[in-house]
Amino acid sequence: MAQPRILILGAPGAGKGTQSAKITEEFDVDHITTGDALRANKDMDISDMDTEYDTPREYMDQGELVPDEVVNAIVDEALSQADGFVLDGYPRNLEQAEELKGMTDLDVVLYLDVDEEELVHRLTGRRLDPETGDIYHVEYNPPEDPEVEERLEQRDDDTEETVRERLRVFRENTEPVIEYYDDQGDLERIDGEQAPDEVWEDVKATIEDAA
């Protein structure tokens, strides 16, 4: 079987990272995220584009959002270097979905479908151990050591107010992308509310059927 070209979509907390890690191991493909692609190509020469800076690094150093056209070029570069991949975190909007169509032919588009209240429950329950950097969950993955439990903190990103805003932004920007692939008949919906191992069985079977 040729190495598949996979797009994985889902809201924050849907489990894209967990499933992407399993996909890369099982199917021997690259896990391409926008963040990793940006970091890997931060010194790419973009001086031929009509942009404020000549490299992505300068945007990142200034704490500014990297423009879509630069992100598109970086993702294109990352995809061109991969035999097979699972693309995670791109496209974030309809314009990027149109761009992606010109970059590669996808074998499968996965959407991890999780109810919003379940996403809020998952994300607001996350806790950080400030000493080790390990992430726990108050319900699904509590630490066994009472001392660790004592020092756990909730990150600012994981407060309910922030989580609901992140989900609102996701809905606003990325739901049209989900509809775009659904309308084309390419979207494979996976029930993301199952246990992670059950989600994986569905993901694996869907990729094997498509590739």
User: Tens digit of pLDDT for each residue in 29-86?
Assistant: 999 998 888 888 788 888 888 788 888 888 888 877 788 888 999 999 999 999 999 9
Q: pLDDT for 109-138, tens place per residue?
A: 999 999 999 999 999 999 999 999 999 999
CATH of the domain at 114: 3.40.50.300
Does the annotation flag 100 for ligand binding?
no
Q: Which amino acid is at 2?
A: A
Residue 138 structural domain: 5-209
In the chain, the number of structural domains is: 1
Selecting among 92, 151, 189, 204, the annotated active-site residue is: 92
Does the annotation flag 5 for ligand binding?
no
122 is catalytic: no
Does the annotation flag 172 for ligand binding?
no
* DSSP secondary structure, 59-116, as one string: HHHTTPPPPHHHHHHHHHHHHHT-SSEEEES---SHHHHHHHHHH---SEEEEEE--H
